[in-house]
Amino acid sequence: MARVKRGTTVKQKHNKILARAKGYLGRHHSTYRAAREKSEKAGQYAYRDRRVKKREFRGLWIVRINAAVRNNGLTYSQFMNGLRKAGVALDRKVLAEMAFAGDENFTKLIDVAKRFIAGESK
Q: Of 77, 109, 68, which Cα lies nearest the Cα of 90?
A: 109
Residue 49 lies in a domain: yes
Across the chain, mean pLDDT equals 94
The number of folded domains in the chain is: 1
Do 83 and 109 form a contact (C-beta atoms < 8 A)? yes
CATH number at residue 116: 1.10.1900.20
The pTM for the full model equals 0.76
CB neighbours (10 Å) of residue 38? Answer: 20
In this prediction, residue 120 carries a pLDDT of 63
pLDDT in tens, 45-61: 999 999 999 999 999 99
Question: pLDDT by residue (tens digit) across 78-95?
Answer: 999 999 999 999 999 999
- Domain assignment of residue 117, given as a range: 7-121
Residue 106 lies in a domain: yes
- Is there a domain that residue 1 lies in? no
Does residue 2 lie in a domain region? no
Q: Residue 85: inside a domain, yes or no?
A: yes
